[in-house]
């Protein structure tokens, strides 16, 4: 594969962290952004210790909710590597609880991170991709994007936004040779679940969990293909289909888990 320059948001943990490692192992250059500088430093050390050949890693502390910060990230990427081939818009946060009773600060943080953060990242990256003649955007959405999701309505709505934006962008950017892949992630074993905002009881799910490494490898593969949407497992495909053909059934299962 040709060596690529890949920008990954939310690279300090979970899927973002694993994806940065996966790209670097394939000898691609990686720019990792997150707010936690110490996590990015640890990731940089881990990449530096990979067997040769491996790609370079540029850690850039930035908050995706800050439009200017993301513009600066892309500028520094171009200064270091001269181009930007792939954006993995991964940064996101979860939230649970009754929509009306949840703290507005929690809801706003989810909206700003999961919606504004994706938009700021894309709007910063696209001009660089246009100038060089093309690129690839991977939006990290969720299998919850099309389901009725009581007690996690805000999170699911933000993922519906992400998937809708991805579909529209694919058409808007086709003439610029910029492809958009919407990656629908199912239940994955990461810190994400532990760091969900809000309260409420969560029952142990019977759904099998993927590892962050499995998701990361699939994201790397997706950048060598032109797929509109990626859903990794059969169980996740059933959830997506259930949101279309049996939304009441999915809603009941979600309600039991998060009530």
Residues designated as active site: 155
User: Quick one: DSSP state of residue 145?
Assistant: G
User: Quick one: DSSP state of residue 50?
Assistant: S
Give the pair of three-digit tokens for residue 85.
Answer: 């081939």
Closest CA to 13 of 136, 180, 193: 193
How far is 147 from 142, CA to CA, in rounded Å?
Answer: 10
Cis upstream peptide for 115 (omega within 30°): no
Dihedral pair phi/psi, residue 224, rounded to 5°: -100, 5
How far is 187 from 185, CA to CA, in rounded Å?
Answer: 7
Which residues lie closer than 8 Å to 251 by C-beta, 6 or more apart?
Answer: 147, 148, 149, 150
Burial class (CB within 10 angstroms; exposed 0-12, middle 13-18, buried 19+) of 87: buried
């Amino acid at each position: 594969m040709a060596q690529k320059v890949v920008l990954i948001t939310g690279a300090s943990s979970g899927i973002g962290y694993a994806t940065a490692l996966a790209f670097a192992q394939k000898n691609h250059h990686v720019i990792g952004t997150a707010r936690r500088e110490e996590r990015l430093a640890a990731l940089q050390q881990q990449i530096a210790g990979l067997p040769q050949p491996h790609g370079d890693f540029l850690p850039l502390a930035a908050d995706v909710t800050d439009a200017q910060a993301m513009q600066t990230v892309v500028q520094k990427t171009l200064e270091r590597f001269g181009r930007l081939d792939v954006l993995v818009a991964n940064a996101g946060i979860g939230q649970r609880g009754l929509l009306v009773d949840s703290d507005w600060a929690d809801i706003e943080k989810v909206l700003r991170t999961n919606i504004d953060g994706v938009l700021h990242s894309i709007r910063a990256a696209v001009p660089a991709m246009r100038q060089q003649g093309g690129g690839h955007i991977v939006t990290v959405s969720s299998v919850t994007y099309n389901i009725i999701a009581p007690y996690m309505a805000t999170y699911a709505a933000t993922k519906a936004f992400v998937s809708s934006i991805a579909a529209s962008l694919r058409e808007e950017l086709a003439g610029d040779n910029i492809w958009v892949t919407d990656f629908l992630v199912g239940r994955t074993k990461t810190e994400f679940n532990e760091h969900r905002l809000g309260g409420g009881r969560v029952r142990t799910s019977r759904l099998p969990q993927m590892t962050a490494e499995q998701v990361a490898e699939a994201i790397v593969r997706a950048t060598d293909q032109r797929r509109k949407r990626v859903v990794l497992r059969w169980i996740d495909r059933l959830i997506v289909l259930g949101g279309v053909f049996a939304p009441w059934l999915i809603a009941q299962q979600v309600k039991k888990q998060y009530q």
